[in-house]
């Protein structure tokens, strides 16, 4: 395992530009990208597959003991497989999207996800996007960002992607959930992307990350000096 890997936590509201920018930042730095929303979606998909009632917390909690998953890292991205299968398309259907908030609100699910998500550092330096990465999953990281944009702009972006979604309702669910709600975490750098292009947002994120990486190197006293007595 890489010693002291860098964890870049990118949290924020839906359609704030999290995914686009997390992927771009990971590619620019050569880090591994982790989409934690996809992990919750994978569990929701699995429950639907198994005909588990999505309102049945006990049955979903029991499924966590039963499903056989692996964390796989390929082409610098991490995903969950279930019985060796990666449901890449299936987790994006409207049925899965409707089921996932219910699954994500269950405390046992969040504890399971936390354990798995923390294991991702075994793949080296990571960029992890989600809702609670800076607050709950890696609160110790010094690289925390919180992306947001106006409701109008986020709705416009969703529509441009062909998705009609009540984002105000989604924000409410994400922020008012009892366990690990979406929130601004201590030490996070806020970025409002309403008036920014993805290129500008990525550039700003990278500038902040390079600044912090330079400070971290100075602190650890990394020099090329030769040891001599």
Interface residues with ligand DC (CB under 6 A)? 14, 36-37, 40-41, 100-101, 104, 130-132, 174
Q: Which residues contact 40 (CB under 8 A, 6 or more apart)?
A: 100, 103, 104, 109, 113
CA gap 151, 77 in Å, rounded = 29
The residue (of 14 and 202) whose beta carbon lies closer to ligand DC is 14
Closest CA to 107 of 140, 145, 147, 136: 136
For ligand DC, the closer CB: 163 or 213? 163
Considering the complex, state which of residue 54 and residue 213 has its C-beta at the smaller distance from ligand DC: 54
Give dist(CA 63, CA 203) in Å, integer.
42
Structure tokens at 64: 């966590």
Q: How far is the CB of 92 from ligand DC (least distance, A)?
A: 8
Of 170 and 209, the one with the shorter C-beta distance to ligand DC is 170
Closest CA to 8 of 168, 141, 174: 141
To ligand DC, the closest distance from the beta carbon of 78 in angstroms equals 13
Cβ partners under 8 Å of residue 33, min gap 6: 22, 23, 26, 27, 76, 77, 78, 126, 127, 129
Both tokens assigned to 53: 């009632």
Minimum Å gap between C-beta 118 and ligand DC is 12
Tokens of 153: 């702009």
Q: Which is nearer to ligand DC, 6 or 34 (CB)?
A: 34
Name the minimum Å distance from CB 101 to ligand DC: 4
Q: Which residue is nearest to ligand DC (CB)?
A: 37
Minimum distance between the CB of residue 50 and ligand DC, rounded to whole angstroms?
Answer: 19
């Amino acid at each position: 395992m890489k010693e002291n890997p860098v964890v870049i936590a990118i949290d924020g509201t839906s359609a704030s530009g999290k995914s686009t920018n997390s992927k771009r930042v990971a590619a620019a730095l050569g880090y591994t990208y982790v989409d934690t929303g996809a992990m919750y979606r994978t569990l929701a998909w699995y429950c639907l597959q198994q005909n588990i009632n999505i309102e049945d917390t006990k049955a979903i909690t029991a499924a966590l003991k039963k499903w056989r998953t692996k964390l796989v890292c390929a082409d610098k991205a991490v995903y969950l497989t279930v019985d060796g299968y990666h449901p890449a398309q299936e987790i994006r259907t409207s049925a899965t999207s409707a089921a996932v908030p219910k699954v994500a609100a269950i405390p046992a699910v969040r504890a399971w996800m936390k354990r798995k998500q923390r294991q991702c550092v075994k793949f080296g330096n990571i960029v992890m996007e989600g809702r609670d990465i800076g607050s709950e999953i890696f609160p110790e990281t010094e690289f925390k960002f919180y992306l947001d944009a106006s409701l109008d702009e986020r709705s416009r972006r969703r529509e441009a992607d062909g998705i009609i979604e009540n984002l105000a309702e989604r924000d409410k669910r994400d922020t008012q959930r009892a366990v690990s709600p979406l929130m601004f975490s201590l030490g996070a750098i806020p970025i409002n992307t309403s008036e920014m292009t993805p290129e500008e947002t990525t550039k700003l994120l990278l500038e902040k990350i390079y600044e912090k990486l330079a400070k971290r190197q100075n602190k650890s006293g990394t020099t090329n000096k030769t040891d001599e007595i």
